[in-house]
Amino acid sequence: MVYRAIGLMSGSSLDGLDIVFTELEDSGGKWKYEIKAANCYTYDEEWVQKLQNAPLLSARDYMLLHAAYGRYTAGLVNMFIEEHNLYHRVQLIASHGHTVFHDPSHGISTQLGDGATIAALTGINVVSDLRNIDVALGGQGAPIVPIGEKLLFEGYDFFLNIGGIANLSYHNKDAVTAFDVCPANRILNTLAQKEGKAYDEDGKIAASGKIYTPLLTMLNRQDYYSKPYPKSLANEFGTQTILPLVESFDLPTADALRTYTEHIAQQVAYAVNAVKKAGTEAKLLVTGGGAFNSFLVKRLQENLQSCNTLATVADESTVKYKEALVMALYGILRWREENTVLSSVTGAMRNSIGGAVWIGQEA
């Protein structure tokens, strides 16, 4: 069976909305995919500010933004369809939305982008609110990408996605383990912006700096890192805890970037070592925007050597659009009423079929 779907992903790094149109084929339980078209629509400064400030809004203003971001998303999807001549080819849209509040300990994970609005304005069926049922079942509601890794990618033991937050998943023959590792691009990009750059291209600024050991030590001592998995991070951990800590040392930007890059590399290595069987070899696939940071990747590879793990960067389209691709698969699985979230990953009381369905097509 072949499905044609659009996946939408907006990450915590606030770089833009990723849109993927993919053909997904299920043949006897074996899935294959082909990305037919993909774009990242960069947020302008107005939308960056709106998304950054969303946690501060009143309930009414938040819901107004929820609807507005749904209209904005639908407009970009319609533009994408026109640009790639996809009229009457898209069967389903799966929209992750933009996470604003993630607090599973209190039973919530909320994403901007009203699914009903997207369905109404595109005329296409939409799956949204992807994390909610897992959270209601006592899970972390994150990560939700491992189901896609399990079905679409073979030959790797670990998957590392470096976005605003770096998250790791481990696939063995018995179960899948996954969790958020540490804030990543959200911190690196904010530091690079102090030098008038949107991001540190290839990690060149970081490579020119020096590690400041007192800061690195305090970063590595954060309570979150010693907590057992399953666990997940809210964006606020990066913006309200980690960034102020980094800035409190008043380091040159290059030294701050170098130190934080080392922090990411060390925490990933610690995380891999915590779940991998001692003495075994493993393969790790790197995706997400951070995979283009060649200096960060180099430090990751060097740190992972100590735990016999070979880190490889995925092909460019997978690096850029893996999460949006998996959202498309997620939507198809929801439509088929099959499990989308794994309890071994999130800690929920059971696996679940996640997502609200909005019928955009006329009967």
Please, what are the domains in the chain? Answer: 2-141+327-358 (3.30.420.40), 146-318 (3.30.420.40)
Q: Which amino acid is at 101?
A: F
The token pair at 280 is 């075994």
What's the pTM? 0.87
Q: Which alpha helices (DSSP H) does the chain contain, by range?
A: 45-53, 59-83, 115-122, 132-136, 146-152, 185-193, 204-207, 213-220, 223-226, 235-236, 243-248, 253-275, 294-304, 316-335, 343-346
DSSP structure string for 154-173? -S-SEEEEESSEEEEEEE-S
Write the pLDDT tens digit of every residue in 45-88: 999 999 999 999 999 999 999 999 999 999 999 999 999 999 99
DSSP 81: H
pLDDT band at 14 (very low <50, low <70, confident <90, very high): confident
The token pair at 50 is 């709106």
What is the model's pLDDT at position 154? 86
Write the pLDDT tens digit of every residue in 105-120: 999 999 999 999 999 9
What CA–CA distance (Å, rounded) separates 249 from 245?
7
According to DSSP, the residues that pair with 160 across neighbouring strands are 168, 286
According to DSSP, the residues that pair with 23 across neighbouring strands are 4, 34
Strands 92-103 and 108-112: antiparallel
